[in-house]
Amino acid sequence: MATQRCAGKTALVTGGARGLGAAQCRLLAREGAKVAIADIDTQAGQALATEIAQAGGAARAYALDVTDEAAWDKTVAAVLADFGGLDILINNAGIARIASAEDCTLADWRAVMSINLDGVFLGTRAGIRAMKTRGGGSIINMSSIYGIVGDSVTAAYNASKGGVRNFTKSAALHCAKSGYGIRVNSVHPSFIMTDMVTGAAACLPDPEGFLKDIIARHPIGRLCEPEDVAYACLYLACDETRNQTGIEIVVDGGYIAQ
């Protein structure tokens, strides 16, 4: 049930067209936010914007590659012009590659770093510049439990998400000390069955065994759903968390508590 926790706010979600980002866009719109869906997949972004509008919400799709510095300026300017401000930014776009520290190619390493870490840096910087003149905002960076613990076959992904985790704290401290009223926090999901995970599983010799294995690693006995992560983002997006900055919210069914 919607409670309008984001009424009057504008949110930009990168990688918002599909997967976890799409769930964030739907929930923020249900809670009253005007939503900018920023993604390289403009067709899916447009389809989601239409779906949200048909459900009574406000959303627009924007073409954004998060690795493109100039495109960030253009997109944020367009969102400010279309919606009149920016209050919530979720740097959610990300990719994964299955490769160990011994086997990872430099091309894969750079692809992961470029989207997962450069993209979050460029987004956070653009968000700070847009929000500081308005007296505040909430920036939420999508890390992972793999930004906290390692896995032998996700070397670049672990490095990028660990980078997001601590970059977020640096940005949070900068904004707090500057008196901008901008909070910067990170969210750390475990495995969720989006295209990212099903695509990675398909590269493994035993995808069904992999699925059984990851469920077994969740003490709560089930995998998380995209909406579980969206609710953590909603919590950080709201003014209710005005004193929370530089924190990590883990959404993992107890995975890393063991």
Cβ closer to ligand NAD: 176 or 247? 247
Tokens of 174: 């900068």
Cβ closer to ligand NAD: 182 or 230? 230
Of residues 152, 162, 151, the one with CA closest to residue 120: 162
Cα dihedral across residues 192, 198, 204, 205: positive or negative: positive
Of residues 180, 194, 204, 209, the one with CA closest to residue 87: 180
Q: How far is the CB of 166 from ligand NAD (least distance, A)?
A: 16
Q: How far is the CB of 20 from ligand NAD (least distance, A)?
A: 4
Cβ closer to ligand NAD: 36 or 40? 40
Would you state the torsion angle of the CA atoms of residues 128, 137, 115, 95, taken in this order, to the nearest 10 degrees?
A: 170
Q: How far is the CB of 4 from ligand NAD (least distance, A)?
A: 25
Cβ closer to ligand NAD: 6 or 66? 66
Planar angle of CA 90, 219, 232, nearest 5 degrees: 20
Cβ closer to ligand NAD: 62 or 83? 62
* Residue 155 identity: A
Distances (CA, A) of 67 to 49, 60, 110, 116, 195: 23, 21, 11, 9, 20
Which residues form the interface with ligand NAD (CB under 6 A)?
A: 14-15, 17-21, 39-41, 64-67, 92-95, 115, 142, 144, 189, 191-192, 194-197
**62, 146, 157, 180: the active-site residue:** 157
Concerning whether 157 is annotated as a catalytic residue, the answer is yes
Is there a contact between 157 and 188 (Cβ–Cβ < 8 Å)? no
Tokens of 56: 């009574």
Helix, strand, or coil (residue 5): coil
Q: How far is the CB of 179 from ligand NAD (least distance, A)?
A: 30
Gap between the Cα atoms of 18 and 253, Å rounded: 22
Longest dimension (CA), the chain: 52
Q: How far is the CB of 144 from ligand NAD (least distance, A)?
A: 4
Active site residues: 157
